[in-house]
Amino acid sequence: MLYLYANLKLMFESRTICIGGLPGIGSVGKVAVDYLAKNLDCRIVKPFISSGFPAQVIVSEGLVSLLQVELKVPKNRTDLFILSGDAQPVEVKEIYFLAAEILETVKSLGVTDFITLAAYVGESEEKVVAVASDLDMIEDLEKTGFAILRNGAIGGLNGLLAGLAPIYGMRGCCFLGTTSGNDPVDLLAARNLLEALKHLLKLEISLDDLEFEVDESKETCEEIDMNYR
């Protein structure tokens, strides 16, 4: 993938962006945004809880906590927000309700662009493909070197947040990391998304802590996947 740096600067110059990634195929989007939140030293702005989440709590070291989606902001920044979460609602109606609540909140905080991260399962030579909510944005993405997904569907919040963004006065786009769909956690696909975002948004983060090691991944995937159901 060839990134054209002059066009990258113009595309998101003077914009306020929210990057979101919720559990999905291979946990690709979730892994990527969780890594971002950790490396950008984020604090929680607002938690979201939905009655549509699975009826369970997360247990860690004996402590229980509710499933939730969290809107975060990096330290010393007001032009970037991160949205991550433990789960997505099960029922379609609840997914729409939660998407509306999230979009209303970020709009009130001045967000102009909502970028979601997800997984693409299919035959592709591209590591990352992109979609957007308007033709101008698609054209800009192509100019920066991104391959465009021409046909298909993106399910759940990762798709809806990008698709509903224009109703709330924001631009929406989704970047999808290509994955086989066979692994509960695809760290390589998540890393590819982060590489793309680093260039797109000029993020000063290191990806050294997200090394893809097959043996270690296989040992821990079943344990990690428990948090995504």
CB burial of 73-100 (b: ≥16 within 10 Å; e: otherwise) equals: bbeeeeebbbbbbbbbbeeeeebeebbe
Q: What pLDDT was estimated at residue 218?
A: 39
Instruction: Supply the range of the domain harboring residue 105.
Output: 5-205
* CATH code, 99: 3.40.50.10900
Ranking 37-46, 73-82, 113-122, 198-207 by mean pLDDT, the lowest is 198-207
Flag whether 218 is in a domain.
no
Per residue in 58-107, pLDDT (tens digit) is 999 999 999 999 999 998 888 999 999 999 999 999 999 999 999 999 99
Residue 134 within a domain:
yes
Task: Dump pLDDT digits (tens) for 182-228.
Answer: 888 999 999 999 999 988 888 888 888 876 433 344 333 333 333 32
Inter-residue contact 224 to 184 (CB < 8 Å): yes
Residue 81 forms part of a structural domain: yes
What pLDDT is stored for residue 229 in this prediction? 26
Residue 85 within a domain: yes
Structurally, the chain folds into a number of domains equal to 1
Q: Is residue 210 part of a domain?
A: no
Q: Note whether residue 217 is domain-resident.
A: no
